[in-house]
Structure 1
Amino acid sequence: MQQIKQLPSKGTSDHQNNQFNNIINVVLTSSDVAVEGFCSSRCGTHELNYIWIGNSETQCPGQCAWPFHQPVYGPQGPPLVAPNNDVGLDGMVMNLATLLAGTVTNPFGNGYYQGPASAPLEAASACTGIYGKGAYPGFAGNLLLDTASGASYNSNGVNGRKDLVPALFDPISNSCSTLV
């Protein structure tokens, strides 16, 4: 993990002066890279200037790529079809959205979060497993369906890409807010 924490300094245009203003470096590791704590306690992590996300395709898809894979714990429903036909990549997209929301709202670990500071629930992690309205444990919610591929999604991206991104906690309504 220490090597991953050092990588962001290589991504800034002014690393001699340690200037990280307005930069969030994203480090993605492939499915064959083992990182301490991956799968056992996290699918990725963030700090002020970086986000790290692991590809869980072969190591722990039931933890880090649900609902596109059978969950390790909880209700055992059929997995959804991944919108980009790649369980590992689509899991990384979900985790990137989660960690980006956390980086923006809680960059120093003392910003927006719920619960104790030692185990904070951030904007997206407060809504774990919720991707659409009507979600409950084992059911991601009512999602959009690509009739051509059978894939489930809730977000339309660049060049017709479809993705599944998590709900975010809305402190005004005190509930999880979804795109669909």
Structure 2
Amino acid sequence: MVSNYCTALFFFFLFTSSSMAALVQQQPLLLKYHNGDLLKGPITVNLIWYGKFTPVQRSVIVDFLQSLSSPKALVPSVSSWWKTTEKYKGGGSSTLVVGKQILDQNYSLGKSLKNSQIIYLASKGGHLRGSINVVLTAKDVAVNGFCMNRCGSHGSTPGPTRFAYAWVGNAETQCPGYCSWPFHQPVYGPQTPPLVTPNGDVGVEGMIINLATVLAGTVTNPFNSGYFQGPAMAPLEAVTACTGVFGSGAYPGYAGNVLTDKTTGASYNAHGVNGRKFLVPAMWDPKTSQCVPLV
């Protein structure tokens, strides 16, 4: 079973004004725990790079992943954002480390992929429990449902050798206004100016946001029996329950109050390793039943 994700543009299908968003925010938000396993302890993230990524693009994404469990970054940090996952049932951290990196630069399955092919590619990372195999597709790769109703997804395989996997696509040339907002002009809704990217790549910035989303969903609902609200086939999870919120005061079309780099003008809300800055979405806090942005 697969959980699919789009970015904050989902809000534009539901809300058309900040006043309506305020009414929605007053309603209680509860992600029910369905008594299943969560991913805790050390977790290896294996990366399958499908298509052509530049070394710089790969380094930005790897730095983000390494930032999730690095306590050395300045605050607010990516790791402090990730620590919210420790509050989910049973406590304990999910410490992510980057494992294998498999490059498939020659498009072994072509440039148009079905979900079954995503699972096949993910299996190249191995079938070990305690790992997440992440398929990252390049900007010229079409994936079933990509840009129409999802920007990424996560799921798991059945049976005793089941493993968790995720997929995120680079939307730079296909739908940056859908999967890379707020770093690109939105396709729908209020046409607010896009934010300036902290790492100089609109497609990769969108991938970071969606990678953060699917990883949080994977550790808190890896086998469709963890934390979610609504139907299991279309659940709201740790981050998708907070879609469109990156800073305080967010409403549809406005990402919220985030930090600005005084030199570059880039928008961000989290520090990472190697001096990187990132924009991460708000995550639902099970202790307060609220969507909590970093800033």
TM-score range with shorter-chain normalisation? over 0.9
Map of 1:9 onto structure 2? 123
How far apart are residue 153 of structure 1 and its match?
0.4
TM-fit CA distance, 1:73: 1.3
Q: CA RMSD in A?
A: 1.0
The reply to whether residue 41 of structure 1 matches residue 149 of structure 2 is yes
Provide the secondary structure at the position in 2 that maps to 1:24.
strand
Q: Distance in 1 between matches of 2:154 and 2:273?
A: 25
User: Whole-Å Cα distance in 2 between the matches of residues 35 and 120 of structure 1?
Assistant: 21
Mapped partners of 1:73, 1:43: distance in 2: 16
Identity fraction in percent: 66
What letter matches 1:8 in structure 2?
Answer: A
- Report how far residue 172 of structure 1 moved: 2.8
- Give the drift of 1:104: 0.5
> Counterpart in 1 of 2:192?
77
Structure 1: runs of 5 or more not aligned: 13-18
What is the rounded CA distance, in whole Å, between the counterparts of 1:75 and 1:35 in structure 2? Answer: 28
Given candidates 214, 222, 228, the residue that maps to 1:113 is 228
Distance 1:95 1:156 in 2: 17
Quote the residue 1:60 is aligned against.
175
2:141 equivalent to 1:26 = no
| 1:15 equivalent in structure 2 | none
Partners of 1:74 and 1:152 in 2: CA distance: 21
Aligned length: 174
Q: 2:276: which partner in 1?
A: 161
My pick for the range that moved more, 126-135 or 3-12, is 3-12
| 1:29-64 Cα distance to aligned partner (Å, 9 max, x none) | 000001111010100100131110000001011111
Alignment partners' CA distance in 2, 1:97 and 1:68: 16
Matched, 1:145 2:253: no
Look up the equivalent residue of 1:75 and give its one-letter code.
P
Matches of 1:50 and 1:117, distance apart in 2: 17
Shift of residue 161, structure 1, vs aligned partner: 0.5
2:246 is matched with 131
Query: Equivalent residue for 2:13?
Result: none
Once structures 1 and 2 are overlaid, which stretch shifts more, 90-99 or 111-120? 111-120
User: Which residue number corresponds to residue 12 of structure 2?
Assistant: none
Structure 1 residues 67-86: Cα deviation after superposition (integer angstroms, max 9, x where no partner): 00111111110000011010
Q: Which has the higher strand share?
A: 2
Residue type at the aligned position of 2:234: A
Other-structure match for 1:103: 218
List, as ranges, runs of 4+ consecutive aligned residues in structure 1 with deviation greater than 6 Å. Answer: none
- Range with bigger deviation, 124-133 or 1-10: 1-10
Gaps of 5+ in 2: 1-114, 157-163
Q: Give the Cα–Cα distance (whole angstroms) in 2 for the partners of residues 118 and 47 of structure 1.
A: 11
In 2: Cα distance, 1:93 partner to 1:58 partner:
16
Query: Structure 1: how far apart are the matches of 2:255 and 2:128?
Result: 36
Structure 2 CA distance for aligned equivalents of residues 169 and 88 of structure 1 = 25
In 2: Cα distance, 1:128 partner to 1:83 partner = 20
Task: State the one-letter code of the partner of 2:262.
Answer: T
Aligned counterparts of 2:283 and 2:149: Cα–Cα separation in 1: 21
Distance 1:73 1:115 in 2: 25
